[in-house]
Amino acid sequence: MRKSWISMLFLVFASMALLSACSSSEESGGSSDGSGESGGPVTMTLFAPQGKASMEENEFTQFIEDKFDVTLKWDLAPTDALQDRRQLLLASGDYPEVFLHGKFTTSDLQTYGKQGVFLPLQDLIKEYGPNLTKIMEEKPYFKEAITAPDGNIYALPIFNECYHCTYAQKYWINTEWLDNLGLKMPTTTDELYTVLKAFKTQDPNGNGKADEIPLTGAPNKYVWNGNIDAYLMNSFIYNDNDKYLIVNDGKVSFAANQEGWKKGLEYMNKLYADGLIDPASFTQNDQAIGQLGNKEGDEVVGSITTALVSYLVNTYDKDITRHQHWEIVPPLKGPDGVQTTGATQSVGEFEFAITNKATEAQQIAAIKIVDYMFSEEGALYAEYGPTEGKGWKKADADEKNINGEPAKYSYYNLPERDPNVVVNESWSQIGAHDLSNTFRNLFAEGQNPLEAEGYGTRLAQATNVYEPYAPKEVYPANVFIRPEDTESAAQLTTAIKDYVQTNMAQFIIGSKSIEKEWDSYVKGFDGLGLSNYLEIYQRAIEKNQ
């Protein structure tokens, strides 16, 4: 009995000693895979999309491993299955220490943050993230956009301040047709009607055929901001082309049931009824648009709603000049004096998150890596590779940026690539990093907007035309819905957006009568829970109040 008791006591003490050793190892950042400070390089696994080349052999991967004394392992998923794979990992509990590229929503962040799966990052940033701290101080809206209602930062996005993306609801017109018919650039909705009518009836391409398409476009999912209604509605009432929300003095209201919306639909119905809007605009994709615009022989398109005119006409081939007589049309003034443009202030999808599987050493290493990618050098290497002369070079003395100022870097006049060799120098669009206007403006752009190398300058100049017409307040794209509202918000947003878009198309093409069915359309929002929808989105922007 005494011998048995002594043996048992020995086992208890041995177990306690083992647990103490394990606990001590974990607290110091140690782990069985050699990620402790005293055990050599920190080793951790990153979740990311699978590209055409090995992430282990990627030049930027190897640069990061050397610079930060880490060993990176990879859990990769095909791009089209990325989110499914991510959800499977999280559901199973077998997720990695770091999501480098997770495409998380604000709802995801709150869910996994509350569960403790995603670790708060703000203290790590405060201690180890000088570059992130600087950006948040210089651009407070960035900090606001990444901070959850509970005050925590659970993930980081690509800080994608794309200037021409901010005002993307643009309209381009064929000025050769305007010149052929002796017409001026339209400035009002009435003048646009006159122009489009002339495009249809006066043979602007001069081939004697009634083959002209006055105005074309495409659904957003096929052509970026190609919805005709997205541009035209802003001459009647503000249309964000997303949630249909208007913000005035912090108060949220709805656009798609107001009188201005009705007038906008009536105007577009008139255009459609007179054959001025391409019927294919509600269904065609980018390939169909390109075939229309680049068709050999006589041009058949007179105007298009899209952020990028390159969807329609080739702007990259130096031997093709058709695109040069396509110009931007400013926002049109409507009959009641409304003249605005859709605007968005977005920081991109949330990509980088550290999970509760990470040891202290792994957390520190991970935040140092991502913070480096928010430095000028780190962003440069992450996007274009760490070797000068391959994906980038220092700008020549005469090279200028998009604003006509001296450039620091350039991706022009680099050695030609072997098309048979897969480029594997950078992480490109993988992982959270700085793509702000501050960073983008370091690069050279061609100064002639009508040349292939000046396309970025052309888009910037077009955006300069639109910026003055943006509303003072816009509803933020990456808003944190309060946790208790998340499920309702998802259901209401989908139902209301589908309802607006379906009825809009039907009113425009005339399968529904605006005169007879407008009132029932408006009443339909009651059954969809519009009042609750507005309350949810109002609460969301009051998260810190």
Q: What is the mean pLDDT of residues 516-544?
A: 94
Q: How confident is the model at residue 313 (pLDDT cuts 50, 70, 90)?
A: very high
Taking CA 470 as the corner, what is the angle to CA 466 and CA 472, rounded to the nearest 5 degrees?
A: 155
% of the chain residues with pLDDT over 90 = 83
Distance of alpha carbon 245 from alpha carbon 410, whole angstroms: 40
Q: What angle do CA 177, 180, 183 make, to 5 degrees?
A: 75
Mind listing the pLDDT tens digit for each residue in 167-179?
A: 999 999 999 999 9
Average pLDDT over residues 326-330: 98
- Give the model's pLDDT for residue 439: 95
Burial class (CB in 10 A: 0-12, 13-18, 19+), 223: buried
pLDDT for 119 equals 98
Identify whether the C-beta of residue 28 lies closer than 8 Å to the C-beta of residue 35: no
> Please, what is the Cα angle at 245 between 460 and 335, to 5 degrees?
70
Lowest mean pLDDT among 25-39, 50-64, 285-299, 484-498: 25-39
pLDDT at 26: 36
pLDDT band of residue 543 (cuts 50, 70, 90) is low
Q: pTM for the complete prediction?
A: 0.86
Q: Please determine, for residue 393, whether its predicted confidence score (pLDDT) is greater than 90.
A: yes
More confident residue, 256 or 318: 256
Paired residues of 271 in beta bridges: none
Strands 70-77 and 350-354, sheet pairing:
unpaired
Q: Is the dihedral of CA 227, 229, 230, 231 positive or negative?
A: positive
| Three-state secondary structure of 352-421 | EEEECCCCHHHHHHHHHHHHHCCCHHHHHHHHHCCCCCCCCEECCCCCECCCCCECCEECCCCCCCCCCC
Mean pLDDT value across residues 369-392: 97
The string over 307-343, giving b where at least 16 C-beta atoms fall within 10 Å of a residue's C-beta and e elsewhere, is bbbbbbbebeeeeeebbebbebbbbbbbeeebbbbbb
* Total count of residues recorded for the chain: 545
Report d(CA 76, CA 46) in Å as an integer.
8
Mean pLDDT rounded to a whole number for the chain: 91
Residue 3 has pLDDT above 70, yes or no: no
pLDDT bracket for residue 165 (50, 70, 90)? confident
Give the distance, in angstroms, between the CA of residue 190 and the centroid of all CA atoms in the same chain: 34
pLDDT at position 162: 86
For residue 165, the tally of other CB atoms under 10 A from its CB is 17
Q: E strands, 409-541, where? A: 409-410, 434-435
Q: Take residue 48 and report the two structure tokens written for it.
A: 């990311």
